[in-house]
Structure 1
Amino acid sequence: MDLQPTEDKRLIRDTARRIAADRLAPLAERLDRGEGRKEFLSNLKLLAENGFCGLNVRADYGGSEAGPVGFALAIEALAEGCASTAVTLSVTNMVGEIIQACGSEEQRAEYLPKICDGTWPAAGFCLTESGAGSDPAGMRTSARMDGNGWVLNGSKLYITSGEIAGLFVVWAVTDPDAPKGKGISCFLVEADTPGVIVGPAEKKMGQTGSATNAVTFEDCRIPASAIMGDVNDGFRIAVGELAGGRIGIASVALGIARAAMDLAIGYVREREQFGRKIADMQGVQWMIADRETELEAARLLILQAAALKASGAPFAKAASMAKLYATEAAQRATYTALQLHGGAGYIRDYPLERLARDVRITTIYEGTSEIQRMIIARETLR
């Protein structure tokens, strides 16, 4: 398997790096302080204009057709500049892919162009509930037929971009008597639909520039055409699309870790102790060597999962491996980078403490490390 990016994929990556350096990185600190919301939205619009909101969406729907490998490279590059922006783009792209894969032609034509061109700043993925996180089949949000439409009731938790999303993909129980996971359907719900209530942003440890909200549905009426795919077949859609989302989160983690290690490498080259550069000390060199090896291994796992997805081959196990390894390796790399900065790494004047907070969530969302281990073991033992 050739994992070297093609020329067009390198162009996507390089464009993402340029935007990350010019627009995202200078804003990241202000976003972390709860400032710069207008600039954040402007950056999302710029990214949409450059094709980053529909990386794996067909051109006739407004997408850039970069494919899963291009998506992974782009998200990693964006995360080097700002994790909050990168995760926003990752989830928005995931929603676009779900609609392309599972939506009707009418749904694709109606919604994909608005996602791809930035008409909506973001799109939301409404699966998790307070009692259904790692076990989404245990959800309680319901949808019942009423006349010629559906009525949604329930609440979703920890929804990325909830307050800026223009469209939500929502999972709800449509047959409460069906076996667990078998009576769930998937719906497309526009954010301005009466009965959609977006809660205040959660106060988070990291990635504070990316709003995370509860989204509640109170007698929310949607047309019969809002259902995506077949009735009671929604859980299969969720499981399938989460695997693709894990490639995105693995890429976010790798980008954060890459930014941290680049800062650390620059720092140790300049910092002197005991009369010499600390980069000349073997202990420091070994710390860097271990982390660089792990990050390169993470990149190869991500690219392998993306290449399998692009080829149409089964990729769930590879995606879980990539997500597990990349996010755990990113934790180690970011904390090593902070350690190499010494006390300076703990001070907010340096970006390391923000990067350490930003990377922490990557082992949790889109499936915890523990869930990834369960998937890998299940697929191996099958």
Structure 2
Amino acid sequence: MTNPYFSDELTMLREQIRRFVEAEIVPHGDAWEEAGKVPREVFAKMGELGFLGMRYPEKYGGADLDTMASVVLAEELGRCTFGGFSADLLVHTDMASPHLANVGTPEQMARWMPGITSGKSVCAVAVTEPGAGSDVAGMRTRAVRDGNGWVINGTKMFITNGVHGDLFFVAAKTNTEAKGSRGVTIFAVEKGTAGFSVGKKLNKTGWLCSDTAELVFDNVRVTGDHILGEVDKGFYAIMKNFQNERTVLGAMAMGEAQKAIELTLDYVKDRPAFGGVLWDKQVIRHRLAERAAQVEAGRQLVYSAAWKDAQGMDCVKEVSMVKAYCGDLVNKVMYDCVQFHGGMGYMRETPVERMSRDARIQAIGGGATEVMLEEIAKRL
């Protein structure tokens, strides 16, 4: 039976991405983890295949698809077992570049979008700060008018693609009189702009092949044509894209969880134990069956939320459910998969060991579970 959420085009896209992941990502992921970065050529290869601009207009190298295409991409990247690679790509395609697509002028789109869809220009989004993550209202980075331009000062933290990125969409407070999250503006800042630097590359528990950085803005001057959208209205653009970001993170989490279950099934069906194999033990069979059911439920929750988003429906509650449920569930799945691998599950040579480290951030990044539960509660 055909999946009601996916057209034949999206089904073919899924198969194409899965083949690419198996041929071009899985064999090289360990080396990228060791190096702490994903080679730029990988972005270019994915750009050539059309994977980087699926949601954007054809005239800029895109395919004019909708949210369901992002879900397909995120799920299949999640299956690669290298969460850092998945994070780098999804930040580029679904967390940073949508700011340009959503509110960019035709001139800005023509200037920057072709590089993004081709993979020649890697982008990042800089909202989070040392003291302001999910709480955007706590932002301290400032931008003040200076003649026909703006001068930005501040620090951003935990920025994916921060070290090797080319184009950064930076949120800064432009109206200090505005209360809370109001008075924020988004600026496009290019690598090499005077005063803009990488403070330091951050050393993480997981996502080792994803470069994550602290960014410093020291009197960074940009012209007015680097403003995305309206001055002081950037918070609304940030909130709008949070829905897309949280949906793709949920899809990525379910791809990871499904792959971990498959790897664990292969292991327990082959691992000798007590005169048989581990799969013979009912407690293991039942726990994996339970997790498989939960992952299927999570996957359907992702699909439903993404479909609503593609139809232009209000889906903040559903997307918040996706982020809260899937972010927690992937960690529960990884715990069991490591447990059922026994000692091997604690060895760096075993994919589930890496996947368990990579998954921990899923309950934090893009909106912590506790914040998401509050968003759900407001709408009950």
Q: Distance in 1 between matches of 2:130 and 2:308?
A: 33
SS of match in other structure, 2:171: strand
- CA shift, 1:328, in A, is 0.9
Give the match for residue 76 of structure 2.
77
What are the within-5 Å matches in structure 2 for residues 119-134 of structure 1? 119-120=120-121, 122-134=122-134
Task: Give the counterpart letter for 1:100 in structure 2.
Answer: A
Q: Distance in 1 between matches of 2:32 and 2:304?
A: 33
Contact residue 253 and residue 362 of structure 1 kept, 8 A: yes
Report the number of matched residues: 376
Q: Distance in 1 between matches of 2:45 and 2:97?
A: 18
Q: Distance in 1 between matches of 2:344 and 2:101?
A: 47
Contact residue 54 and residue 96 of structure 1 kept, 8 A: no
Q: Distance in 2 between matches of 1:351 and 1:161?
A: 23
SS of match in other structure, 2:154: strand
Give the match for residue 17 of structure 1.
18
Structure 1, unaligned stretches of length 5 or more? Answer: none
- CA shift, 1:191, in A, is 1.6
What are the within-5 Å matches in structure 2 for residues 84-233 of structure 1? 84-93=84-93, 94-120=95-121, 122-233=122-233
Contact residue 97 and residue 124 of structure 2 kept, 8 A: no
Give the match for residue 45 of structure 1.
44
Give the match for residue 243 of structure 1.
243
What are the within-5 Å matches in structure 2 for residues 331-346 of structure 1? 331-346=331-346
Give the match for residue 324 of structure 1.
324
- CA shift, 1:83, in A, is 1.5
Q: How big is each residue's C-alpha offset from its partner over 1:101-155, in whole Å with a ceiling of 9 and x where there is no partner?
A: 11111111111111000111x2111001111112111111111111111111111
Q: TM-score by structure 1 length?
A: 0.95
Contact residue 124 and residue 162 of structure 1 kept, 8 A: yes
Q: What percentage of aligned pairs have identical amino acids?
A: 32
Change (3 A) 1:251 1:40: farther
Contact residue 201 and residue 213 of structure 2 kept, 8 A: yes
Give the match for residue 29 of structure 2.
28
Change (3 A) 1:98 1:3: farther
Contact residue 57 and residue 64 of structure 2 kept, 8 A: yes
Q: How big is each residue's C-alpha offset from its partner over 1:295-344, in whole Å with a ceiling of 9 and x where there is no partner?
A: 11111111111111111111221111111111111111111111111111
Q: How big is each residue's C-alpha offset from its partner over 1:30-53, in whole Å with a ceiling of 9 and x where there is no partner?
A: 222236x4x632222211211222
Q: How big is each residue's C-alpha offset from its partner over 1:212-245, in whole Å with a ceiling of 9 and x where there is no partner?
A: 0011111111011111111110111111111110
Task: Give the counterpart letter for 1:22 in structure 2.
Answer: A
Q: Distance in 1 between matches of 2:63 and 2:162?
A: 25
Task: Give the counterpart letter for 1:40 in structure 2.
Answer: P
Q: Distance in 1 between matches of 2:360 and 2:190?
A: 31
Q: Distance in 2 between matches of 1:6 and 1:278?
A: 39
Q: How big is each residue's C-alpha offset from its partner over 1:147-192, in whole Å with a ceiling of 9 and x where there is no partner?
A: 1111111111000011111111111111101122111111111122
- CA shift, 1:64, in A, is 2.4
Q: How big is each residue's C-alpha offset from its partner over 1:258-285, in whole Å with a ceiling of 9 and x where there is no partner?
A: 2211110111111121212221221111
Q: TM-score by structure 2 length?
A: 0.96
SS of match in other structure, 1:156: strand
- CA shift, 1:57, in A, is 1.1
- CA shift, 1:75, in A, is 1.2
SS of match in other structure, 1:362: helix
